[in-house]
Structure 1
Amino acid sequence: MTRLLVDCTYVYDHPNDNSGIQRVVRNVIRELPTINQECECIPVVMLQGKLYEVKSLAPLPTKGLDLVGLRAGLEQFANLLWLRQRTLERRRPFNQSVWARRLLYVGCRLFALGCLSIPIRVLDRLLKRQQVPPRSVPLEHRAGDQLVLLDSSWHSGFFPLAEKLKREGVGIISVVYDLIPLTHPQFCDAGLVKVFNHWFDWIARTADGYIAISTTIRDQLREEMVRRIGEQQVRERWFDYFHLGSELDLVDATSAIDSKLLRVFTQPEPVFLMVSTIEPRKNHAYLLDAFERAWAAGSKARLCIVGKIGWKCEDLIERIRRHPQLNSRLFMFNNLSDHSLEHAYQHATALVFPSYVEGFGLPLVEAMQRGLPAMGSDIEVFREIGGEFMAYFNLEDPQSLADLVTGMENSGVFPASRPLDQWQWLSWRQASAQLVERIERHIDEVILDRETACE
């Protein structure tokens, strides 16, 4: 029986993160045990040069203070502190004096060290000593196992362990979400571009097969591999894809929906929803430009932005916070629960998603699966996901989105070629099954080719 060792190291170490890749990992891992009796699927983590089987991806309940939650809260506060520092240094007197900027930086640095960095280190030590039931146990690998790099492995230091496993007969399969740090580095942090490029060189040399999250990324991946290692070596690897599911797995129906969000949907005017981390690639500035044009033309539509604050977005956040329509026709929520997000999906008029580039576009299927129509930028991967059931706008012209918004507002008709009630998509169980089935098929083909070559 084939054993798939499915890596979830980052999510295991950061259980409170809830962005796109973390959603994928949690949901795929949750569905793995029930999808295939012919293949044993084992969630694993690679920690300190060793392999462990995961028993619980989420932290186990403990008595007393929630140290994991406290540590996550401190990390989030640290991110907000440095966002505020970068915003302030653009204002007077800091933008007029290098000494004022240095004083601001030193002050923030000292505060972060004393109130954030040191407490986080103390919490890390306490968590290591905390007596709780083990979330993972040591796992012995076997020749013929397949290590599936499902998680965001470019931040990990497990290359030596993975190479050791490969030398001892374990196959390496890399899940690829996108190539954005390579193809669009201007949207990424410089450090990520460097780390991602190093990781890609490693998987290009080390992995036996690659499975992307869309046909668009699969084809881009193969082209990039040809550029890096040549057509001959690429022909020795396999390439495939699987599509992502759509359910929100952290919905707690007993929790309260954000009261400010509830008020957004109490008025009769249409609400257009944007769900994404706030960072340059997601193109929120274009979104504001389009809605400002619609508002200037008399539209009463409202724009609701949902997503945590990311990177390179200081000017955008400042623009939103100073916008004359804020809390009137423009709303922003940076820390909604899945229950509140579910409410937004169910009560909005349409989703708007103006990204420059994506590997998939998870909010599209989350919205459309709930009957919420979606308007997206006219890029290849969105055409792959939405087909004729979505409406598309031109990223070169914000007026094209403004026209879609006002047209739907005036007519009440969503401007897609086909009705959304004819659209169907995968559940997370089906997505996980698709991932495992396609990996199994390629493994069987590789084994058959080897047997044929030996005859």
Structure 2
Amino acid sequence: DRSWGQDFPWNEVRRAQSRGALVGVVVYDLIPIEHPEFIEAGLRIPFRDWWNRVERTADFLVTISRSVVDDIARIQRGRPKVERQNRPLPMRAFTLGAKLDGTTADQAIRPELLTLMDSAVPGGVYLMVGTVTSRKGHALALEACERIWAAGGDARLVIAGKNGCAGDALVDRIRQHPRLGERVFWFDDLNDAELSWCFRQASALITASQAEGFNLPIVEALSHGCPVFASDLPVHREVGGEFATYFPAGDPAALARLITDHPRQPRRQSQTSLPGFRWPDWNESCESLLKAVLELAQQVKPECSPQADLRAQATPAPVRPRSAA
């Protein structure tokens, strides 16, 4: 289990292949290639070099969403013919699990959270979960809220996530915001119990990302009955289906309208917290991954005969919620 980087054990991989092993690579996303503007300049070329070697070396790929499969295929089609690999790489998506395992009933919630997440706030309390980076759309959510406040609204924005862009203008904008501690709140150290409580109390989760490979907070929110306002990306529709509400990516005015209208539309809230939503846990996710690996291995090397007991354990990937029209 290794992340990409200069210390990736390519020699060991080649040695294993020379002894008959099949090599599969799990791909979370290709954001450094498709959206380099969101990646540190010093990481772009190393990632592309790593990916080029994956394409030359791997026997198959497993991705965390069907959208990533589409991204890989699109990148491969866009290459000049002379640069394309002679063999198509078999690919399959598996299902990530979702469960806040660190939650226990006796864990205390810090008083500050109890106060600011009060569901009686007239304008609602809106939650963002995930590392604070420019790609995640925190600036857009701030702009949407600023429009609401300028019009006399009373929405609160709660950010839960670590700083992923130290020294960035986005961090300065949040930390120096005139409404910080009044309408804007940033927590970088919530435990699982506190995060779970926030999901249950929030008016909605806002995820305004411009690029994702999956976006687990959507599933975590819906699993807690928390409505989701998501930027309209293919992967968000794949994950959230009919249970989330979508706004055009990069449009703060559209998000502001969703937030403003949300308290007056209880039907929308009940729609996004349908009891029919269910997502696999991490045990089921492992089974989904195992099934994908076994099937891809047999596709690459038909003479392979995976152990019957492993095949019996591998259950089909759960059906996704139907995508919204």
Q: TM-score range by the shorter chain?
A: 0.7 to 0.9
What is the TM-score of this pair, normalised by structure 1? Answer: 0.62
Distance between the aligned counterparts of 1:285 and 1:325, measured in 2?
14
Deviation at residue 348 of structure 1 after TM alignment: 1.0
Tell whether the 8 Å contact from 1:245 to 1:425 is kept in structure 2 after alignment.
yes
Tell whether the 8 Å contact from 2:129 to 2:160 is kept in structure 1 after alignment.
yes
Tell whether 2:21 aligns with 1:167.
Answer: no
Highest CA radius of gyration, 1 or 2?
Answer: 1
Deviation at residue 392 of structure 1 after TM alignment: 0.8
Aligned to 1:422: 276
Paired letter, 2:255: L
Paired letter, 1:340: E
SS at match of 1:171: coil
Tell whether the 8 Å contact from 1:182 to 1:197 is kept in structure 2 after alignment.
yes
Q: 300-309 or 266-275: which moved more?
A: 266-275
Specify whether residues 257 and 393 from structure 1 end up closer, same or farther in structure 2 by C-alpha distance, changes over 3 A only. Answer: same
Specify whether residues 325 and 293 from structure 1 end up closer, same or farther in structure 2 by C-alpha distance, changes over 3 A only. Answer: same
Distance between the aligned counterparts of 2:242 and 2:270, measured in 1?
6
Tell whether 2:106 aligns with 1:246.
Answer: no
Deviation at residue 312 of structure 1 after TM alignment: 6.0
Deviation at residue 230 of structure 1 after TM alignment: 2.3
Aligned to 2:164: 310
Percent of residue pairs bearing the same amino acid type: 36
Distance between the aligned counterparts of 2:201 and 2:236, measured in 1?
23
Deviation at residue 219 of structure 1 after TM alignment: 1.5
Deviation at residue 196 of structure 1 after TM alignment: 1.2
SS at match of 2:62: strand
Tell whether the 8 Å contact from 1:282 to 1:354 is kept in structure 2 after alignment.
yes
Tell whether the 8 Å contact from 1:301 to 1:409 is kept in structure 2 after alignment.
no
Deviation at residue 449 of structure 1 after TM alignment: 6.3
Distance between the aligned counterparts of 1:155 and 1:252, measured in 2?
39
Which of the pair is proportionally richer in helix?
Answer: 1
> Counterparts of 1:53-202 in structure 2 under 5 Å?
151-154=2-5, 156-202=7-53
Deviation at residue 201 of structure 1 after TM alignment: 1.2
Deviation at residue 323 of structure 1 after TM alignment: 1.8
Distance between the aligned counterparts of 1:354 and 1:290, measured in 2?
11
Deviation at residue 410 of structure 1 after TM alignment: 2.9
Paired letter, 2:65: S
Deviation at residue 413 of structure 1 after TM alignment: 4.0
Specify whether residues 264 and 155 from structure 1 end up closer, same or farther in structure 2 by C-alpha distance, changes over 3 A only. Answer: farther
Distance between the aligned counterparts of 1:248 and 1:419, measured in 2?
18
Distance between the aligned counterparts of 2:148 and 2:137, measured in 1?
17
Tell whether the 8 Å contact from 2:226 to 2:272 is kept in structure 1 after alignment.
no
Aligned to 2:313: none
Tell whether 2:127 aligns with 1:276.
Answer: no
Specify whether residues 313 and 399 from structure 1 end up closer, same or farther in structure 2 by C-alpha distance, changes over 3 A only. Answer: farther
Deviation at residue 329 of structure 1 after TM alignment: 1.5
Q: What is the CA RMSD across the aligned residues, in angstroms?
A: 2.2
Specify whether residues 158 and 389 from structure 1 end up closer, same or farther in structure 2 by C-alpha distance, changes over 3 A only. Answer: same
Aligned to 1:207: 58
Tell whether 2:259 aligns with 1:259.
Answer: no
Distance between the aligned counterparts of 1:358 and 1:434, measured in 2?
21
Distance between the aligned counterparts of 1:418 and 1:322, measured in 2?
34
Specify whether residues 155 and 417 from structure 1 end up closer, same or farther in structure 2 by C-alpha distance, changes over 3 A only. Answer: farther
Tell whether the 8 Å contact from 2:129 to 2:217 is kept in structure 1 after alignment.
yes
Distance between the aligned counterparts of 2:16 and 2:172, measured in 1?
49
Paired letter, 1:266: D
Deviation at residue 231 of structure 1 after TM alignment: 6.1
What is the TM-score of this pair, normalised by structure 2? Answer: 0.85
Q: Which residue, out of 51, 66, 72, partners 1:221?
A: 72
Q: Which residue, out of 209, 224, 245, partners 1:355?
A: 209
Deviation at residue 387 of structure 1 after TM alignment: 1.5
Tell whether the 8 Å contact from 1:294 to 1:406 is kept in structure 2 after alignment.
yes
Give deviations 1:244-291, integer Å, cap 9, x for gaps: 111012335554333322221236112110001011111111010001
Tell whether the 8 Å contact from 2:225 to 2:273 is kept in structure 1 after alignment.
no
Deviation at residue 450 of structure 1 after TM alignment: 8.1
Query: How many residue pairs align between the two structures?
Result: 300
Deviation at residue 175 of structure 1 after TM alignment: 0.4
SS at match of 1:154: coil
SS at match of 1:332: strand
SS at match of 1:273: strand
Tell whether the 8 Å contact from 1:279 to 1:313 is kept in structure 2 after alignment.
no
| Consecutive unaligned residues in structure 1, runs of 5 or more | 1-6, 8-150
**Which structure exhibits the higher relative contact order, with contacts defined as CA atoms closer than 8 Å and separated by 6 or more residues?**
2
Distance between the aligned counterparts of 2:49 and 2:42, measured in 1?
11
| Consecutive unaligned residues in structure 2, runs of 5 or more | 306-325
